[in-house]
Amino acid sequence: MKAVRELGSERRSLRWWAVMSIQHRLISVNPSFRDEQLNMGIPREDQETKKKNRMKGKNIIPEEAAYIAGFVDGDGSINAQIMRRPDYTLKFQIRVSITFFQKVERYWFLLFLKKKLGIGSCRKRNDGMGEYIIVGKQSVLQILDILRPYLRIKKRQAILITSICCQLKKEQDPLQFLKVCEMVDLIETLNDSKEQVITSETVRAELNL
C-alpha cells in the first residue's frame, strides 16, 4: 500500500510540474498572462470584450450567476480542443466550449438554463444523459464574463479559456497559434482529460515549426 501511495504522489507531482512548465513558457511569451491573472484576474485584452458582450444573460442577478457557476463547478465543463480543419489555412481549429450535464430525467433544467442564458443548444445523448453546450469564441466569452467571478473549482480553466479566446484571430501567425495550442494542452491537464488526441506537439510537427 505504501508503494502505491508513493507512486500516486509521484504521478501527481509530475503532472503538476508539467502544468507549471507550460505556465512558465506562456508567461515568458505573453507578459500579460501573469500569475495574478491566472489566480484572480483576466487578460488585459478582455476588458474591451467585456463591454461588448452584455447582451446574453443580461437579466441574470448575482445570486443566479453564483448558482449557475456552482453547477459548472460540479456538473459542468469548461474546455478547449484542437481539431483538424483541412479547409483552414493552418489546418487546425481551436474549439472552446462550456457544457452542462444532467440526466435526461432532469433535461427540463438544462432547457431552463438555456432559456435563462439565452445562448447555446441542448441535446439528449444515447447514454441517458443530457447536455447543454455553449460553443464559440464570442458566446463562451459572454457567459464566462457572467460566471467567472463566482467559479471556484474551474476558475483557472475559465481564465485560461478567456485568454485563449482573446488571442485567437482570423489571420493567425503560425507560431502564435502554436502558443495558443500550448494553452489548450494546459486546459486538458487541468481537466484531467484521459486522452488528448491532438496536442500542440501534433500541430508543431504538421506545421513544421
Cα separation, 202 vs 187, in Å, equals: 16
The phi-psi region of residue 79 (left if phi > 0; otherwise alpha if psi is between -120 and 50; otherwise beta) is beta
Cα separation, 53 vs 42, in Å, equals: 15
pLDDT string in tens for the chain (209-residue length): 544 444 444 444 444 444 444 444 444 444 444 443 444 344 444 445 444 444 455 678 899 999 999 999 998 999 999 999 999 989 999 999 999 999 999 999 999 999 999 999 999 999 999 999 999 999 999 999 999 999 999 999 999 999 999 998 878 899 999 999 999 999 988 987 766 789 999 999 999 98
Q: Please spell the DSSP secondary structure of 72-120, one letter per residue.
A: HHHHEEEEEEEEE-TTSTTSEEEEEEEEEEEEGGGHHHHHHHHHHHT--
Catalytic residues: 74-75
Sheet of strand 129-135, all strands in order from the earlier edge strand to the far edge: 76-84, 92-103, 129-135, 121-124
As beta bridge partners, residue 80 has 96
Quick one: pLDDT at residue 44? 47
The secondary structure of 132-189, three-state, reads EEEECHHHHHHHHHHHHHHCCCCHHHHHHHHHHHHHCCCCCCHHHHHHHHHHHHHHHH
Cα separation, 34 vs 26, in Å, equals: 9
Structural contact between residues 140 and 98, judged by C-beta atoms closer than 8 angstroms: yes
CATH code for the part of the protein at 2-206: 3.10.28.10
Residue pLDDT, tens place only, 63-72: 999 999 999 9
Cα separation, 43 vs 50, in Å, equals: 11
Residue 45, class by beta-carbon neighbours within 10 Å (0-12 exposed, 13-18 middle, 19+ buried)? middle
Enumerate the domain spans of the chain. Answer: 2-206
Phi, psi of 34 (to 5 degrees): -100, 170
Cα separation, 83 vs 129, in Å, equals: 24
Cα separation, 168 vs 198, in Å, equals: 18
